[in-house]
Structure 1
C-alpha cells in the first residue's frame, strides 16, 4: 500500500512538472523576421517602389505647395484644391545636371488648398542622404507633362505650366516636410479693354490671339521653356467682362502677334470686329511674367495706352479670368 501510494504520487508530480515545462516553453518562444526579407519592407534604395512598408532608416517626405503670383514681388498663395503635380527626387550632384531616372517620383493632388497628397496612396520614402527635388504642374486637374532624362515632352499653348526645385536638401530625420513654391514657367497676355471717344462697350463676343508655335521643351533642372520665334494659328482667349487673357509659351520675336476682338458697342444690333498687331515689349514675352495691355477701342481702330508686368491673372479650367482687371 505504501509503495503504491509513492508510485502514484511520483507519477502525479512528474505529470505536473511536464505541464509546467510545456507552458513555459509555449510562452517564451519568439521568432523575429528581418523586415526587408519577410515583412514586405523596402531595401532603402529610395526609388518609387518603396510605397509599401518602408525600413526604419527611410524618411517619409511630405510636401506643401504655394504659387507665386508675380515674379517681382514674390507674392504667394496656397495652391488650389484638386490640382495635379508631379514630384521627383534625384541624388544631388555638384553640377545640378539631371540624367537618367529619378530615385523617387510620384503624382500628387492638392487634397485641400496647399496640401499635397500622393495619388492612389503614394508616399515618398528616401534613405538618409542629400537630394535635389523638382516639381511640375499644369496648375489644373490635368496631369503634368512627362520628362525623360530631364527634358519634357513637347509642350502646348494655353497651359499654365508651373515649376519648382530645391537642390542639395539633406534628408536626415524620419519625416521631412518640404514646402514647394511654384513659379509660372509660361507667359501670359492680358488685355483690358476700354471704350474711346464716342464708343460705349456693351459686350465682348469673342477674342483671339496668335500664340507661338507649340512644341517647346522644358529643362527640368532650370524650369526654362525654350522661346519660340514664329506664330501659330489664332487661339481663343478667355473672357471676363472687358478683360481677355491667354497663357502661352514664351516668345522671343520682333514680329507682332495678331489680336482680333468681336465687340458689341453703342447698343448697336450688329457686332464690330477689330484686328490689330500686338507687339511684345522689347520683342520678348518672358516666362513667369503676366503682361497687361490696356486697349482703347476707337471708332475704326484700337490703340494701346501702355503695357506693364502685373500680378498673374488667375483663370478657371476654361481659361476665363476669374476676375476682370480693375483700374
Structure 2
C-alpha cells in the first residue's frame, strides 16, 4: 500500500500583486533647478526601501541601470513592487561604469577623489498599478577649477604643471537618504593634476581644512626669462 501526500494553493487565499516600476532620468542644474539630459550610456545604481526605511533593500535592489538619450533609465531587470509607498534613490559616477560603492545602513564606505558622484532621490513614492519614477541627478562632489592668468608684467606664459593636495578619503562617506558627503579632515601631499594649458578642471571630496596648490611655469617676467618657476598658495 502506498500513501501519497500533496498540497494545492487555496484559490481564495489573498495574494500580493506586484507592480512594475519604470525609471526616467535627467540632470538637475544647481542654479536654476531645471533639468537637462543625463548622458546616454551612463550607468547608475537604483536602491528601493519601504517609505521611511533605509536598512533593508527591496525590489531586487541594488539594481544597475543604463541611461538612453531619450531620458529612459533601464535597469538590468524590471523592478516590481507591491502597492504602497517607497523611498527610491540612485547613485552614479557620471560614466558608463557603475560607481564602486556599497551602503550599510544607508551610509557608504570611504569614497574616492576624482569621481563625479551623482545622487538622486524620490521619497514616499506611491506605487499603485505601476509607477513612473524620474531621477533628477545632481553633483555632490566638489567641482574644482584652477586657472592661471598672466598679469601685464608677464608674457610667454607656459604652465608646466599644476599640483594639488587632495582631501584624505578616510571618513568621507555618502549618506544615501540625503545625498550628502561627509567632509574629510585632512589632505594628502601635493600630487599632479592631469591636463594641459592654463586651466585644470578636477573633482575632489569636500574637506574642512585648506588645500595647497603648486604651479610650475616658464615665462618672461618684467623682461626677464624664467624657467621652472614654482609658486605655491593655500586656500
Shorter-chain TM-score range: 0.7 to 0.9
1:132-189 C-alpha deviation (Å, 9 max, x unpaired) = 1011111112212121221112111111111111111111123x22111112111122
What is the aligned partner in structure 1 of residue 4 from structure 2? none
TM-score (norm 2): 0.82
Report if aligned partners of 1:59, 1:127 keep a CA contact under 8 Å in 2. Answer: yes
1:69–1:173 CA distance, 2 compared to 1 (3 A): same
Provide the rounded CA distance (Å) in 2 between the counterparts of 1:203 and 1:124. 54
Q: What is the root-mean-square deviation of aligned Cα atoms in Å?
A: 2.5
Out of 215, 219, 234, the position equivalent to 1:261 is: 215
1:246–1:201 CA distance, 2 compared to 1 (3 A): farther
Provide the rounded CA distance (Å) in 2 between the counterparts of 1:113 and 1:196. 46
What is the aligned partner in structure 2 of residue 188 from structure 1? 143
| 1:213 counterpart = 2:168 | yes
How many residues end up aligned between the 2 structures?
Answer: 217
What is the aligned partner in structure 2 of residue 77 from structure 1? 36
1:63–1:98 CA distance, 2 compared to 1 (3 A): same
What is the aligned partner in structure 2 of residue 301 from structure 1? none
Report if aligned partners of 1:79, 1:113 keep a CA contact under 8 Å in 2. Answer: no
1:107-135 C-alpha deviation (Å, 9 max, x unpaired) = 0112336321223xx11111211111011
Question: SS of the counterpart of 1:247?
Answer: strand
State the structure with bigger RCO (CA 8 A, min sep 6), 1 or 2. 2
1:75-121 C-alpha deviation (Å, 9 max, x unpaired) = 4321112211000111112xxx51233343110112336321223xx
CA displacement at 1:238 relative to structure 2: 4.2
Unaligned runs of 5+ in 1: 1-33, 35-42, 45-56, 280-327
1:165–1:232 CA distance, 2 compared to 1 (3 A): same
Question: SS of the counterpart of 1:261?
Answer: strand
Question: Superposition pairs for residues 71-150 of structure 1, below 5 Å?
Answer: 72-93=31-52, 97-105=53-61, 106-112=63-69, 114-119=71-76, 122-144=77-99, 145-150=101-106
Provide the rounded CA distance (Å) in 1 between the counterparts of 2:160 and 2:216. 5
Q: Which has the higher helix share?
A: 1
Provide the rounded CA distance (Å) in 2 between the counterparts of 1:138 and 1:189. 16
| 1:277 counterpart = 2:233 | yes
Larger Rg: 1
| 1:168 counterpart = 2:124 | yes
What is the aligned partner in structure 2 of residue 199 from structure 1? 154
1:217–1:262 CA distance, 2 compared to 1 (3 A): same
Unaligned runs of 5+ in 2: 1-8, 10-14
